[in-house]
Amino acid sequence: MNLETVIEKHALKNAIDHDGKANAKAVFPKVISEFPEVKNQVKEVMQKIELILKNVNKLGDGDQKIKLLKIDPSMLEKRKPEIKELKLENVQGKVVMRYAPNPNAGMHIGNARAALLNDFFVKKYGGKFILRYDDTDPKNENKKPNKQAYKQIENDLNWLGVEISEIQYASKRLGKYYTIFEELIKKSKAYICTCESEEWKDLRRTGAACTCRSNSIYENKRKWNMMLFGDFKQGTAVARLKTDMKFRDPAQRDWVCFRIVNKPNHPITKNKHTVWPLLDFASAVDDHDFGVTHILRGQDLVISERRQNWLYSYLHWNYPLVITYGHMGVEGAGTFSKSLMSKGITKKKYSGWNDPQLPMITSYARRGFHPESIKKMIIEIGLTGGKINISEDMLSSYNKKIIDHDAKRYFFVKNHQRHLMKDVNQEITVPNHPTNPTLGERKINVKGKVYISKDDVQFLKKTVDCRLIDFANVKLVKKGELKLSTRQEIKKEMQKIQWVSSGEKCEVINKEKVVKGLVEESVLKEKIGTVMQFVRYGFVRLDKKKPLTFVFAHK
Ligand SMILES: [Zn+2]
């Protein structure tokens, strides 16, 4: 962490603790205790502090917290009692909550937020977590459910530690939806509309009703049965809920409950049904039927509640309590659009759904993220109503705190280049972790040569000592050859160079880049899936042994 960041960190903390306004005199000693080398530059440091303070004090409380979370989340943990407790209103006994993904792909980190928050409340209050597959849109190519995605979503949820109490498939409940719709026809609250779609939209715009709206219950029942028996072609008839054609919000005027999809080729029900409910209808029925007590919903879906309220009032049902939350952007995490991801996979831009460039849960798992890091971050962000922007760096800092203590260190150099060390033949012992002795140590033989990164070759000099980390001070003899220096004491200003004595060629996949290098051979005894740190490079996960491949997590 550089001086500016340390100042910003303490300024943010001080501001959060003092109604959003940080005090330079209070920040100064904190900075000095962390950065003692500047303690004699009081004036310069104070100037820097004051400059940074100006910007920090301009931010609102929420932004200050988000910024501090990005720099050092532990600074906020220390004042946990003041983080607003995540709770639900109106809990009577147990809660029933649902997570309702469309199984067109596995989960990305935005989906994980919804799932983890639901899981959090179910565990907090006791109750049920229902996984409800919202799989009733076989028409739209981008949204069409696919068989592997069902299993993938369950795997993702299991990996995240979400406890699923019950699994429901909307596509298996079409009969139930039909029954409810027939009830609405009988109440004269629904009708079959055979108008041409553009024509109907024109009517909606002006608030006028089409002629179908005044058809008799009998006529509607007849046409509904025609729909079910396949007597209408796709696009020639829809089933509508009767709301109010003059209602101020046009999106709520007589909305569509069912439409016809020819040859849906649905992964579960194949071509058994051609009349499919729209999301708002199916989820409204299910929430009632499953006894859902609380719904967490993205702000972009507020319209659903408004539409569904018509149906709930016609059927005398009680709407669950809805808690809306704002959109979460994740800077540096790639696209959240599953159709873009899918296109990228087809075009080989991504190797698959677990490509490290993607913000999918499987991608994070493959990179060696611990599920707890995602969970902790999501729960600490909580249910903010507004739009929030976090970054992948923030997630990385949560993860680092979790994995660092148990991640063994290994030597790795990228773009390795051999250097002879003719006079050397020795065995050295290095710890597997700088501060965790339980991880043990390992022996490394250095015999006649070392490999260092091409990037570090520039530092090697004939006249100046460099430090081969954990090994020895060396000087350049000539291009491609080193020798041990006569002086072996380690000095602060010395250039430190990572090295490998003899190793295995490997690749590290770092998002869109593939870095080639050499890793010490003892890594081969690790199991696939092990998360470790390549010293001075970053945390990686062993992805496969043939060819030896690692996936980069973060610094
Ligand atoms: Zn009509």
pLDDT tens digits, residue range 264-273? 999 999 999 9
Judge whether residue 69 has pLDDT over 90.
no
Query: How far separated are the first and last CA of the chain, in Å rounded?
Result: 12
Amino acid, single-letter form, for residue 6: V
- The arithmetic mean of pLDDT across residues 222-231, rounded, is 98
CB-side neighbour CA atoms (13 Å) of 255:
20
Closest listed residue to residue 511, CA positions, set 363, 330, 308: 363
How far does residue 209's CA lie from ligand 1's centre (Å)? Answer: 8
Mean pLDDT of the chain: 93
How far does residue 203's CA lie from ligand 1's centre (Å)? Answer: 9
Q: Please state, as a whole number, how many other Cβ atoms lie within 10 Å of the Cβ of residue 307.
A: 21
* CA pair distance 208, 39, nearest whole angstrom: 76
Question: 250: cis peptide before it, omega within 30°?
Answer: no
Answer for the pair 125, 94: CB distance below 8 angstroms, yes or no. Answer: yes
Judge whether residue 74 has pLDDT over 80.
no
Reported confidence tier of residue 281, pLDDT bands at 50, 70, 90: very high
Could you give the residue ranges of the DSSP H alpha helices within 264-301? 279-289
Reported confidence tier of residue 77, pLDDT bands at 50, 70, 90: low
How far does residue 265's CA lie from ligand 1's centre (Å)? Answer: 28
Answer for the pair 7, 73: CB distance below 8 angstroms, yes or no. Answer: no
How far does residue 248's CA lie from ligand 1's centre (Å)? Answer: 20
pLDDT at 82: 43
3-state DSSP helix/strand/coil % of the chain, to nearest 5? 40, 25, 35
- The arithmetic mean of pLDDT across residues 335-364, rounded, is 95
Specify the CATH number for 86-327; select among 3.30.450.90, 3.30.70.100, 3.40.50.620, 3.40.50.1820. Answer: 3.40.50.620
pLDDT at 80: 40
Amino acid, single-letter form, for residue 205: R
Lowest-pLDDT range of 21-35, 110-124, 241-255, 488-502:
21-35
Beta bridge partners of 388: 328
Reported confidence tier of residue 385, pLDDT bands at 50, 70, 90: confident
Judge whether residue 81 has pLDDT over 50.
no
Sheet holding 190-193, edge to edge: 190-193, 238-241, 256-260, 275-277
pLDDT at 373: 97
pLDDT, one tens digit per residue, over 395-428 is: 999 999 999 999 999 999 999 999 999 989 999 9
% the chain with pLDDT above 90: 80
How far does residue 196's CA lie from ligand 1's centre (Å)? Answer: 8
Homologous superfamily, domain 408-554: Ribosomal Protein L25; Chain P (2.40.240.10)
How far does residue 104's CA lie from ligand 1's centre (Å)? Answer: 32
pLDDT, one tens digit per residue, over 172-199 is: 999 999 999 999 999 999 999 999 999 9
pLDDT, one tens digit per residue, over 359-370 is: 999 999 999 999
Judge whether residue 492 has pLDDT over 50.
yes
Backbone angles phi, psi at 59, to 5 degrees: -75, 155
Query: Is 408-554 in the same CATH topology as 329-406?
Result: no
How far does residue 402's CA lie from ligand 1's centre (Å)? Answer: 59
Homologous superfamily, domain 329-406: Glutamyl-trna Synthetase; Domain 2 (1.10.1160.10)
How far does residue 93's CA lie from ligand 1's centre (Å)? Answer: 45
CB-side neighbour CA atoms (13 Å) of 319:
16
Judge whether residue 83 has pLDDT over 70.
no
How far does residue 205's CA lie from ligand 1's centre (Å)? Answer: 14
* CA pair distance 474, 465, nearest whole angstrom: 5
Judge whether residue 7 has pLDDT over 80.
yes
Judge whether residue 226 has pLDDT over 50.
yes
* CA pair distance 549, 470, nearest whole angstrom: 25
How far does residue 214's CA lie from ligand 1's centre (Å)? Answer: 9
How far does residue 219's CA lie from ligand 1's centre (Å)? Answer: 13
Q: Which residues contact 10 (CB under 8 A, 6 or more apart)?
A: 27, 30, 31, 34
pLDDT at 232: 97
How far does residue 212's CA lie from ligand 1's centre (Å)? Answer: 4
Segments making up each domain of the chain, as ranges: 3-82, 86-327, 329-406, 408-554
- The arithmetic mean of pLDDT across residues 239-263, rounded, is 96
Q: Which residues contact 354 (CB under 8 A, 6 or more apart)?
A: 360, 362, 363, 365, 366
